[in-house]
Amino acid sequence: MNERILMVVLVGVVLVAGAVFFGTIPPSGSVSISHSSTATTTTPSTRSAVSATCTQTESAPLFLIVRNDNGTPIPSQPLTIQAHLFTQLVYNSNLDSCIFVYSTHSWMNRTGTDGKIELGWTGNYFNITTVYLGRTYQVNAEAEGAESAECVTLSLPSGSVNTTYAGMFDYQC
């Protein structure tokens, strides 16, 4: 009887946690990443396995927009980008929850003719460095716009950073 109660409680916790954490419906065209693993719990008389599914929905892009202090886009601005890209969710039986797994990547790029560059999707972290008129600027941005594009604007040479979000289910800045 205790096994049955434990099983019902564990499944209930997984379902409630999933509903709380991932209750939004992804917009069309988004990518769902699902990882499933099995955790084993031990009771005094027997062993039983509980299956848990961890789901992370990636939906909205993060854009970096580089402009001068007057609001004019700065095209072809060189950028050094270090990204901690979301890879997957994995169920951790010791914590009894899903944990995020990231991989780190570095590369060089430039803003487009409109002073904008698309960096990544919800769940990714970015450290961007650029040099303008001999001065170094750094922007740290977490892509967290789950239902709209996240727009991070860097104004140069002041170095001010402003983060806004596009309208609901709007994926452009």
**For the segment 139-163, what is each residue's pLDDT rounded down to a tens digit?**
999 888 778 899 999 999 999 999 9
Domain topology for 2-165: Immunoglobulin-like (2.60.40)
Q: Regarding predicted confidence, which is higher, 31 or 98?
A: 98
Residue 11 sits at φ, ψ, to 5 deg, of: -65, -40
The answer to whether residues 18 and 49 touch, using CB atoms and an 8 Å cutoff, is: no
The answer to whether residues 165 and 78 touch, using CB atoms and an 8 Å cutoff, is: no
H-helix or E-strand containing 21? helix 2-21
What does the block give as tokens for 31? Answer: 């990518």
In the chain, what are the domain boundaries? 2-165
Kindly report the length of the chain.
Answer: 173
Rounded Cα gap, residues 13 and 88, in angstroms: 21
CA 41 to chain centre: 31
**For the segment 102-147, what is each residue's pLDDT rounded down to a tens digit?**
899 999 999 999 999 999 888 889 999 999 999 999 999 988 877 8
